[in-house]
Homo-oligomer: A and B are copies of this chain.
């Protein structure tokens, strides 16, 4: 029987562990809210528990696990298993891997979450498979970035390049917990989309957004504004237009700087309907990008593996070792 691996995607909102086989299929999953873990030790414990649950759910005994990979947001020192800083999790410098290493007899690896998504999308079946150069942008609790050249991740001289979420697109703009102002993440993440939706709702009590939110138990999620916009709500349209404006600003920045063959959108927001996200984004970028004067252009695509990319890519950290 071929080896199986555990991949853990540590998001700002959810922590998901998956049992993954060598063909990069997810055989079983276990999931919990990240907010449940109030300390570094609690998060490490949660990861260890979810890894056990995913293995058990998939019927894999611990000794059958070939390795455990953790994908975490933030600035990492993977060799030491350290998360040095993360903007959207409550972690300070923290050692995530030690509890796993104690509990499991398998090798444990740490990688950036956007890098994990990129690893998965660059593999067969992924949206940037076979590209000479590709940028992957994750639109989730925060905004992450990764650059893949000929299938190999590229992270700069110190391993923390492609912090695309912490590129200023509005100088003097919103404060970001990272210490900068106007970071792209403050305008293009799912968190930002929800905030913009709530702000618009406060200004327009008549908006369909209120009705749809009520039908959804009062929850203002990342799909609400798109759904209300599709039903003709003008306030919602202003929200999705503003979101697309900022998404395009950062995507066009990345293209003007890096000119990859493809730029791939991953993360929750990327799952939005193509008519409402991908196509209008392509149109906006094509009007602004430097290459429009007659050079081959970057193709903007969305992730092929959807929500699984983070878990599968984390497991791939082990496969590639």
Contact = CB atoms under 8 A, between A and B. Distances in A.
Given A77-B295, A93-B293, A133-B156, A257 B163 contact: yes
Contacts of A290: 75, 85, 160, 163, 166, 178
A287 B176 CA distance: 13
Which of A163, A290, A296 is packed against the most chain B CB atoms within 10 Å?
Answer: A290
Interface stretch (A4-12, A59-67, A199-207, A258-266): A258-266
A161 interface: yes
Contacts of A171: 169-170, 173, 182, 187, 245-246, 249
A132 to B, nearest CB: 6
B291 A158 contact: yes
A155 interface: yes
A182 B252 CA distance: 12
A77 to B, nearest CB: 7
Given A84-B294, A170-B171, A171-B245, A156 B260 contact: yes
Interface of A: 75, 77, 84-85, 93, 132-133, 145, 155-164, 166-173, 178-180, 182, 187, 245-246, 249-250, 252-254, 256-261, 287-288, 290-291, 293-298
**List of 3 A-B pairs having minimum Cβ-Cβ separation, nearest first:** A156-B259, A85-B293, A161-B259
